[in-house]
Homo-oligomer: A and B are copies of this chain.
Amino acid sequence: MRTTETAIDAGAGAAPSAERRPHIVIVGAGFGGLSAAKGLAGVAADVTLIDRKNHHLFQPLLYQVATAGLAPNQIATPVRTIVRHQANTRAILAEVGGVDLARKLIVTGGRRTPFDILVLATGATHAYFGHDEWAAHAPGLKSLEDAVELRRRVLTAFEAAETACDPAERRRLLTFAVIGAGPTGVEMAGAIAELAHRALTRDFRAVRDAKARVLLIEAGERVLPTFRPDLSAYAARALAKLGVELKLGSAVSAMDDQGLMAGAERIEAATVIWAAGVRASSAARWLGIEPDRAGRVTVQPDLSIAGAPDVFVIGDTASVVGADGRPVPGVAPAAKQQGEYVARLIKARLAGRAGPGPFRYSDFGSLATVGRRAAVVQLGRFQLRGTLAWLFWCVAHIYFLVGFRNRIQVGLDWLWSYLTFERGARLITGEDQAARALNSHIAGTCDCPSL
């Protein structure tokens, strides 16, 4: 039993030297946490990477899982596999419940684990601006479970439209409303429009005849507001070409299970998708710190929290002003850079060297795709749109995807979808909810004698 116990015990027990190796705990295996863990490879410390999922998720492609283009496993990789070759690092599947800052303990389930250095990289979740009751009507898109649930709703709406006899109900079933016109909202609206107007028309008669309606609802005055105005205008035109109806300057004020109010207009829609806002994770509450308006922890220039130089918060759950005086945006490249920065700082500190200066965010640019051969790319002063931007977007996403196998598979799937207009993961799954939901649609619509 002795060997087994030692193997399990990554903390003090596993250290061969008499001196105890410091224990670095990283919570969250997203872009931030993973890059911190990778940056700590080979450091004379025990690194524990905790996540409540067993996989790192490539969130930028989550909308393709929600619209049946990719399968869940193609954009996720087990965290264990990623850190397999780092002898000083172990991955743990557990949900963190809190932090005891005074005693330097992290709480998971009924267990308290001591840490010397803590990196919180717990990300963000959807925020409904004080309307948490909207969550049931308009799910967001953060996890694989979210994506599979959205896929179920989208595909079930098409199925139900096929057997609805009341024309108004059929129109409602074929109306898809995406709220929020940032990159995720634009990508979702474009992908649903391609699904409705291209991929599914061969299989669904009602879709072919009645035409689906895809709405993109945005409170602001333009789509992709973080991009340059001419790229926003291009994206709006590309969306219109795909058949997406844009509702700009329309704030959503009410929602129920039949539809929503956008500005002064009532829209009957069976499927509503939330892409309008996020709120940081519970890290601030764990640390007993007053969060900012977005729920984030405001950190020092070195990403540690005030009064606790060994506790770092990075990524979407941190609020920091970069060395250039501008707030660092909540995007994947920023989280990655923060992870790398914290790893460098910890390494220097453990080696007794002077650490790097304050965190500095390098903005390499932004990409967003609308659909087939339509994307926008903004890299510094350089910008691209159309087919070339779309190819650049495809190559960049395959490049940043984790895992050789996933890259090959996603590449082949995209090629196949491009050539055939098909979608490769058109599955409705989830405990027979699908058919039940559908039967209730059918029951609710009419007593027409034929299916």
Interface residues of A (CB under 8 A from B): 1, 3-5, 7-13, 23, 48, 50, 52-55, 71-74, 76, 78, 80-81, 84, 90, 92-95, 97, 108-114, 144-145, 148, 155-156, 159, 162-165, 167, 170, 202-206, 208-210, 405, 409, 416, 422, 424-432, 434-436, 438-444, 447-451
Q: Which of B72, B94, B112 contacts A439 (CB 8 A)?
A: B94
Please name the residue on chain B nearest to A430 by beta carbon.
B145
| Residues from chain B with Cβ under 8 Å of A438 in the complex | 93-95, 109
Q: Given A429-B144, A429-B145, A451-B48, does the pair A80, B164 have CB atoms closer than 8 Å?
A: no
Q: How far is the CA of A269 from the CA of B203 in the complex (A)?
A: 46
Please name the residue on chain B nearest to A163 by beta carbon.
B92
Closest chain B CB from A316 CB (angstroms)? 18
Q: Which of B76, B90, B429 contacts A148 (CB 8 A)?
A: B429
Closest chain B CB from A289 CB (angstroms)? 24
Closest chain B CB from A410 CB (angstroms)? 12
| Residues from chain B with Cβ under 8 Å of A450 in the complex | 9-13, 23, 113-114
Q: Given A204-B80, A405-B416, does the pair A432, B52 have CB atoms closer than 8 Å?
A: yes
Closest chain B CB from A133 CB (angstroms)? 19
Q: A108 contacts B53, CB within 8 Å?
A: no
- Is chain A's binding surface mostly helix, strand, loop or mixed? mixed
Listed from nearest, the 3 A-B pairs whose CB atoms lie closest are A110-B443, A109-B439, A11-B450
Q: A442 contacts B52, CB within 8 Å?
A: no
Q: A8 contacts B165, CB within 8 Å?
A: yes
Q: B449 contacts A114, CB within 8 Å?
A: yes
| Residues from chain B with Cβ under 8 Å of A204 in the complex | 80
Q: B424 contacts A95, CB within 8 Å?
A: no
Closest chain B CB from A194 CB (angstroms)? 17
Q: A78 contacts B203, CB within 8 Å?
A: yes
Please name the residue on chain B nearest to A440 by beta carbon.
B109
Q: Which of B8, B84, B416 contacts A163 (CB 8 A)?
A: B8
A-B contact pairs, 20 of them (CB 8 A): A3-B209, A4-B210, A7-B205, A7-B208, A13-B450, A23-B450, A71-B72, A73-B427, A78-B427, A81-B426, A93-B434, A93-B438, A94-B442, A95-B432, A95-B436, A97-B439, A110-B442, A110-B443, A111-B442, A144-B429
Q: Given A72-B71, A436-B95, does the pair A442, B109 have CB atoms closer than 8 Å?
A: yes
**Max chain B CB contacts within 10 Å: which of A4, A156, A405?**
A4
| Residues from chain B with Cβ under 8 Å of A170 in the complex | 4, 8
Q: How far is the CA of A97 from the CA of B351 in the complex (A)?
A: 70
Q: Given A73-B424, A428-B53, A438-B94, does the pair A449, B11 have CB atoms closer than 8 Å?
A: yes
| Residues from chain B with Cβ under 8 Å of A155 in the complex | 54
Q: Given A145-B430, A440-B109, does the pair A8, B205 have CB atoms closer than 8 Å?
A: yes
Q: How far is the CA of A424 from the CA of B406 in the complex (A)?
A: 9
Closest chain B CB from A299 CB (angstroms)? 25
| Residues from chain B with Cβ under 8 Å of A48 in the complex | 451
Q: How far is the CA of A112 from the CA of B113 in the complex (A)?
A: 61
| Residues from chain B with Cβ under 8 Å of A72 in the complex | 71, 427, 429
Q: Which of B8, B159, B434 contacts A162 (CB 8 A)?
A: B8
Q: How far is the CA of A9 from the CA of B206 in the complex (A)?
A: 10
Q: Given A449-B11, A450-B13, does the pair A93, B210 have CB atoms closer than 8 Å?
A: no
| Residues from chain B with Cβ under 8 Å of A9 in the complex | 165, 448, 450
Q: A203 contacts B80, CB within 8 Å?
A: yes
Please name the residue on chain B nearest to A46 by beta carbon.
B450
**Max chain B CB contacts within 10 Å: which of A74, A432, A442?**
A442
Q: A451 contacts B92, CB within 8 Å?
A: yes
Q: B434 contacts A54, CB within 8 Å?
A: yes
Please name the residue on chain B nearest to A159 by beta carbon.
B93
